[in-house]
């Protein structure tokens, strides 16, 4: 249920409505909006009687929320969520370009790439230090050393960093370095991890699971938001379908639907979504044309020598060429890059 306060409701009236929710053993989530404050309610198993709240001073209405996800839905919060991370901005008419290597490999590799993507117009540096690999025999990441190299690259370029957190054990360590914590596709429904992320005051980018429906994805986001961390970004990175010619099937058709269902910022990752470098630029262009809030692009100084995801990595020259197109399409979409 959602309590809609009157536009002139006082802080005392809002608190009294929250207390009425607590008195029922439920949790109130006040959501300030441009016109009025709304209060989402979670914890109830069945429907609630609207008059429990409509009789209170300052309450305009109490309406049921039709979706199983509540706090991430547009029904509960009509305005887009805007997330600011240093100079980068997700939502509110900006296009955030997250770029960098799949894995942090060497000091030279990450510093060179960071400087290059910054010069090309990226607003956030990506790089994995804890890598969830399909095979235990593949490169697993530099771990803390990788995080230190990312921090050095941030220092050198001013770019905030996004890096993956693989499990609850390493969360405290990764959170000490990261500006945005990335939850990988393989962890989208790692509920213990999601709960811990919900208790942090740090933005989280939640990648879509390999075979997850939109409903499952938004419910996973709800795990984080319901515990108090409202800064969640969704990232479409391709899903598993019958098609094996591409690494994944990039589901761009989901973007307008997500826009309608949720207020959270949306990012598209055409690198994992296609799996081959020649596919990345066209699908990044297409992603920007859907009006997303950000794109995530893997870039490597020498893709042939990359320790992970070399086939989908763009060279520096390819990244530069992509950015020319991204700027042009973003201008059509009235977005600032």
Point out which residues bind ligand PEP (CB under 6 A).
Answer: 102, 128, 184-186, 207, 237, 272
Cβ-closest residue to ligand PEP? 184
Of 120 and 184, CB closest to ligand PEP: 184
Stretch 84-103 residues interacting with Mn ion (CB under 5 A): 102
Cα 117 to chain centroid distance, Å, stands at 20
Q: Which stretch binds Mn ion (CB under 5 A): 110-118, 198-206, 236-244, 303-311?
A: 303-311
Burial of 111 (0-12, 13-18, 19+ CB in 10 A): middle
Of 53 and 130, CB closest to Mn ion: 130
Determine the size of the site formed for Mn ion (CB under 5 A): 2
Residue 185 interaction partner, one of Mn ion, ligand PEP, none, beta carbon < 5-8 Å per kind: ligand PEP
Of 28 and 184, CB closest to ligand PEP: 184
* Vertex 213 angle, CA 208 and 215, to 5°: 100
Beta strand 204-207 with 180-183: parallel, antiparallel or unpaired? parallel
Encoded one letter per residue, x for contact with Mn ion by CB under 5 A and - for no contact, window 241-280 reads ----------------------------------------
Of 81 and 312, CB closest to ligand PEP: 312
Q: Which residues contact 251 (CB under 8 A, 6 or more apart)?
A: 208, 236, 238, 239
Of 184 and 291, CB closest to ligand PEP: 184
Segment holding 295, helix H or strand E? strand 294-298
What is the rounded distance in angstroms from the CA atom of residue 273 to the CA atom of residue 210? 10
Determine if 313 is a binding residue for Mn ion (CB under 5 A). Answer: no
Task: Give the side-chain half-sphere CA count within 13 A for 35.
Answer: 6
- For residue 27, list its beta bridge partners: 42
Select the residue interacting with Mn ion from 309, 314, 326, 335 (CB under 5 A).
Answer: 309
The structure tokens listed for 12 are: 């005392």
């Amino acid at each position: 249920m959602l309590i809609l306060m009157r536009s002139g409701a006082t802080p005392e009236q809002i608190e009294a409505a929250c207390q009425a929710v607590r008195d029922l053993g439920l949790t109130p989530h006040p959501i300030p909006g441009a016109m009025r404050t709304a209060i989402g309610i979670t914890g109830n198993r069945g429907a609630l009687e609207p008059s429990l709240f409509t009789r209170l001073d300052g309450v305009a209405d109490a309406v049921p929320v039709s979706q199983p996800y509540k706090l991430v839905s547009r029904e509960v919060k009509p305005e887009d969520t805007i997330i600011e991370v240093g100079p980068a901005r997700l939502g509110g008419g900006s296009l955030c370009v997250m770029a960098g290597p799949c894995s942090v490999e060497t000091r030279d590799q990450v510093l060179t790439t960071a400087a290059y993507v910054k010069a090309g117009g990226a607003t956030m540096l990506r790089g994995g230090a804890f890598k969830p690999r399909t095979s235990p025999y593949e490169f697993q990441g530099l771990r803390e050393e990788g995080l230190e190299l990312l921090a050095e690259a941030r220092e050198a370029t001013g770019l905030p960093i996004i890096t993956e957190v693989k499990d609850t054990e390493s969360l405290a360590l990764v959170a000490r370095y990261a500006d945005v914590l990335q939850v990988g596709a393989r962890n989208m429904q790692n509920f213990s991890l999601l709960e811990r992320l919900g208790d942090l005051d740090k933005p989280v980018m939640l990648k879509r699971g390999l075979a997850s429906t939109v409903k499952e994805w938004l419910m996973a986001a709800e795990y984080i938001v319901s515990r108090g961390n409202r800064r969640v970004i969704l990232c479409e990175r391709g899903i598993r379908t019958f098609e094996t010619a591409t690494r994944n099937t990039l589901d761009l058709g989901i973007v307008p639907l997500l826009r309608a269902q949720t207020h959270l910022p949306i990012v598209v990752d055409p690198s994992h979504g296609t799996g081959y470098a020649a596919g990345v630029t066209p699908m990044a262009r297409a992603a920007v044309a859907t009006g997303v809030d950000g794109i995530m692009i893997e870039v490597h100084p020498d893709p042939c020598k990359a320790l992970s995801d070399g086939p989908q990595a763009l060279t520096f020259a390819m990244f530069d060429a992509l950015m020319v197109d991204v700027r042009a399409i973003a201008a059509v979409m009235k977005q600032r890059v």
